[in-house]
């Protein structure tokens, strides 16, 4: 079983839709990261959080430590949001564990 599970694996949405990507983890963590990987392969850090909720523009990330679950929300989705979204956790074993990613396609 993967220690970091993301769902869905693939997601197709129409422009303007509200998007939710989920991440569940089974290890103790000190922080959780949401990353965006562009079609060309480059990776951008979106959020790093250890509790509560963070918002940046149209992106919102939440984490529930007790339930070991985090969500990434995109409001008013746009075709430029099309990318792979990766959840990664900083485990208490002092390493970084990555989910397999959610491939998001937003159609105009």
Partner 1 sequence: EPEVTQTPSHQVTQMGQEVILRCVPISNHLYFYWYRQILGQKVEFLVSFYNNEISEKSEIFDDQFSVERPDGSNFTLKIRSTKLEDSAMYFCASTEGGWDQPQHFGDGTRLSIL
57 interacts with partner 1 by CB under 8 A: no
Report the residue number, 77 or 102, with the smaller CB distance to partner 1.
102
Other beta carbons within 10 Å of 18: 11
Give the phi and the psi of residue 73 in degrees, each rounded to 5.
-115, 140
Residue 79, classed as helix, strand or coil, is helix
Considering only 14-22, 46-54, 58-66, 68-76, which stretch makes contact with partner 1 by CB under 8 A? Answer: 46-54
Chain positions contacting partner 1, by CB under 8 A: 30-31, 33, 35, 40-45, 47-48, 50, 86, 88, 90, 94-101
């Amino acid at each position: 079983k993967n220690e970091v599970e993301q769902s869905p694996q693939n997601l197709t949405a129409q422009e303007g839709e509200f998007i939710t990507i989920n991440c569940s983890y089974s290890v103790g963590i000190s922080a959780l990261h949401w990353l965006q990987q562009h079609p060309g392969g480059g990776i951008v850090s979106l959020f790093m959080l250890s509790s509560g909720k963070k918002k940046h523009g149209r992106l919102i990330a939440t984490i529930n430590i007790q339930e070991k679950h985090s969500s990434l929300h995109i409001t008013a989705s746009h075709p430029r949001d099309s990318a792979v979204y990766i959840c990664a956790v900083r485990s208490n074993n002092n390493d970084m564990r990555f989910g397999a990613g959610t491939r998001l396609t937003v159609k105009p």
